[in-house]
């Protein structure tokens, strides 16, 4: 098609009247248009950005743009205007994409519009779906039932967000069982129990999984048991059932696990994760720690994993369990112990935390230190912890690191190991003011900031170090 445009261009005007831009080969113009696409993996249609912008300049540019499939093989539509015919524009857009794989995102802004007409328009292009992101109500997913099982050979990424609108799902997603290349799956369901049993689905081929749904721990464990190739997993669970014993599940390749649940220990007690490197745990609402639980240390001990990043909320994982875990992970590089906002009345981060992280003298000028490779440390809010406890821990670690480097004849000018620090504690004099502790060029520093949230503390530390 670009060759036809080139031939017609030569016949349109005499060379003397053709501006230089019009004498440029269409193939070059096409490449320039591709470079004009906005940054990102997917295009949001806008008259002020390519490809729509270059299509409005003149008839020649429009013809070249329409003949360049790379400009039209991705689209993100947020359906915010009622009674607007998005489906016709979507068809026109995708009809220019040639035979290229497609990246498509359909979202209903605030669930105000129905994505069903647009989803119906997408079905004929199913054989070229590579990335698909759908967000709408339960009844808007009905067109998925018309998919042919053999039409999803290119699909690699699937993201689905569903809000219960009163309609029931009738196995709309079982068709994705026939997507042999599917590697990334994300599900966000609101208002209903989406997963009752692991539906027919290519769980065994997934490498990334993100579930935000009203599912129980046991249901997630059933799914994880089938995800033999999984390397990254995020779970946000509304319900957890502590008093049910489930068989242990091994996920052999999982390297990063993020859990948001009030009773996360139920899930941890049932997992074996030998390849785990990153673990992050947060409560969904307002968790309460089980002081008898040792779910975290049991997981690390049972799995034999070499954790490098550990981030926990001390309101659901008790401090004693964390202390038992630290000796098991000498290679830990990043440690974060925070406490959900609003839990200050029940302090979980105490002086014992800083005593455990402080190096201690043994004999013959020898010192021992938990997590000796620590580079990043985030702790707070600390309620009832003295400034001296924080200061002493940081200074002891700085001294210990200098001694360790001197003993091994390391270069003293190299960056200190523990350098990325943010510890904040509530001031006794004013609840709205916090002390922020950090390390700058090898020195322990303290400043006062307004508020005590993690976000504010990080912003304050960044501004102080800049």
Q: What is the pLDDT of residues 253-298, one digit of tens each?
A: 999 999 988 878 888 999 999 999 999 998 877 656 666 789 999 9
Predicted pLDDT at 196: 47
Please determine, for residue 22, whether its predicted confidence score (pLDDT) is greater than 50: yes
Q: Grade residue 234 by pLDDT with cuts at 50, 70 and 90.
A: very high
Q: Is residue 218 part of a domain?
A: no
Q: Is residue 189 part of a domain?
A: no
Domain boundaries, position 428:
333-466
Q: Is residue 282 part of a domain?
A: no
Question: How far, in Å, CA of 93 to CA of 245, rounded?
Answer: 52
Predicted pLDDT at 430: 61
Is residue 317 within 8 A of residue 281, CB to CB? The reply is yes
Is 89 exposed, middle or buried (CB count within 10 Å of its CB: 0-12, 13-18, 19+)? middle
As given in the structure block, the two tokens for residue 161 are 């967000």
Kindly report which listed range (221-225, 280-284, 394-398, 399-403) carries the lowest average pLDDT score.
Answer: 399-403
Predicted pLDDT at 345: 45
Is residue 400 within 8 A of residue 407, CB to CB? The reply is no
Q: Grade residue 414 by pLDDT with cuts at 50, 70 and 90.
A: very low
Q: Is residue 270 part of a domain?
A: no
Please tell me the total count of domains within the chain: 1
As given in the structure block, the two tokens for residue 43 are 């295009």
The b-or-e profile of 162-172 (16+ CB within 10 A means b, else e) is: bbbeeeebeeb
Q: Is residue 285 part of a domain?
A: no
Please determine, for residue 111, whether its predicted confidence score (pLDDT) is greater than 80: no
Q: Is residue 423 part of a domain?
A: yes
Tell me which H or E stretch contains 298: helix 295-303
Residue 164, Ramachandran bin (φ over 0: left; ψ between -120 and 50: alpha; else beta): beta
Strands (E), 110-204: 129-137, 157-163, 184-190
Question: How far, in Å, CA of 357 to CA of 300, rounded?
Answer: 19
Q: Is residue 444 part of a domain?
A: yes
As given in the structure block, the two tokens for residue 413 are 């000018």
As given in the structure block, the two tokens for residue 130 are 């590579």
Q: Is residue 275 part of a domain?
A: no
What pLDDT, in 10s, does the model give residues 39-96?
877 898 988 889 999 999 888 899 999 999 999 999 998 887 766 678 899 999 999 9
Question: How far, in Å, CA of 137 to CA of 108, rounded?
Answer: 9
Is 443 exposed, middle or buried (CB count within 10 Å of its CB: 0-12, 13-18, 19+)? exposed
Predicted pLDDT at 464: 47
As given in the structure block, the two tokens for residue 307 are 């954790």
pTM for this model (two decimals): 0.85
By percentage, how much of the chain surpasses pLDDT 90? 39
As given in the structure block, the two tokens for residue 113 are 């519009």
Greater confidence, 166 or 82?
A: 82
Predicted pLDDT at 249: 94
Predicted pLDDT at 351: 87
Q: Computed over its alpha carbons, how large is the radius of gyration of the chain? A: 28
Predicted pLDDT at 92: 93
Question: How far, in Å, CA of 288 to CA of 353, rounded?
Answer: 18
451 secondary structure, DSSP code: S
């Amino acid at each position: 098609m670009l060759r036809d445009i080139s031939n017609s261009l030569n016949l349109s005007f005499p060379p003397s009247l053709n501006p230089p831009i019009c004498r440029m080969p269409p193939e070059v113009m096409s490449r320039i248009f591709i470079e004009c696409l906005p940054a990102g993996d997917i295009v949001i249609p806008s008259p002020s950005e390519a490809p729509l912008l270059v299509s409005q300049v003149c008839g020649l540019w429009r013809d070249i743009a329409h003949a360049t499939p790379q400009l039209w093989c991705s689209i993100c539509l947020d359906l915010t205007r009622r009674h607007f015919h998005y489906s016709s524009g979507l068809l026109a857009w995708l009809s220019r994409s040639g035979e290229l794989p497609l990246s498509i995102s359909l979202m209903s802004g605030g669930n105000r519009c129905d994505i069903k007409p647009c989803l119906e328009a997408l079905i004929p292009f199913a054989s070229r779906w590579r990335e698909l992101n759908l967000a709408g109500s339960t009844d808007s997913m009905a067109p998925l039932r018309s998919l042919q099982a053999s039409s999803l050979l290119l699909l690699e990424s699937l993201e689905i967000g569903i809000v219960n609108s009163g309609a029931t799902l009738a196995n709309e997603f079982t068709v994705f069982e026939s997507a042999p290349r599917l590697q990334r799956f994300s599900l966000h369901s609101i208002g209903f129990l989406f997963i009752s049993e692991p539906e027919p689905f290519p769980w065994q081929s997934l490498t990334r999984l993100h579930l935000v749904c009203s599912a129980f721990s046991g249901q997630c464990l059933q799914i994880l048991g089938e995800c033999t190739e999984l390397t990254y997993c995020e779970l946000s669970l509304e319900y957890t059932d502590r008093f049910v014993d489930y068989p242990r599940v091994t996920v052999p390749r999982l390297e990063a696990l993020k859990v948001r649940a009030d009773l996360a220990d139920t899930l941890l007690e049932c997992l074996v994760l030998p390849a785990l490197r990153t673990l992050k745990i947060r409560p969904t609402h307002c968790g309460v720690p089980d002081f008898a639980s040792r779910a975290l240390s049991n997981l690390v001990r049972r799995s034999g994993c070499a954790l490098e990043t550990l981030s926990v909320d001390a309101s659901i994982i008790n401090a004693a369990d964390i202390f038992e875990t630290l000796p098991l992970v000498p290679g830990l590089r990043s440690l974060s112990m925070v406490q959900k906002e609003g839990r200050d009345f029940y302090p979980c981060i105490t002086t014992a935390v800083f005593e455990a992280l402080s190096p201690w003298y043994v004999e013959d000028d020898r010192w021992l230190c938990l997590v000796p490779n620590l580079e990043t440390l985030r702790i707070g809010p600390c309620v009832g912890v003295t400034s001296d406890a924080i200061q002493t821990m940081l200074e002891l670690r700085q001294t210990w690191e200098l001694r360790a480097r001197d003993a091994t004849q390391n270069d003293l000018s190299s960056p200190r190991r523990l350098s990325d620090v943010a510890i904040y504690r509530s001031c006794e004099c004013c609840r709205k003011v916090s002390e922020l502790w950090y390390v700058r060029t090898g020195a322990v520093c303290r400043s006062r900031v307004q508020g005590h949230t993690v976000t504010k503390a990080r912003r304050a530390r960044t501004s102080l170090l800049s």
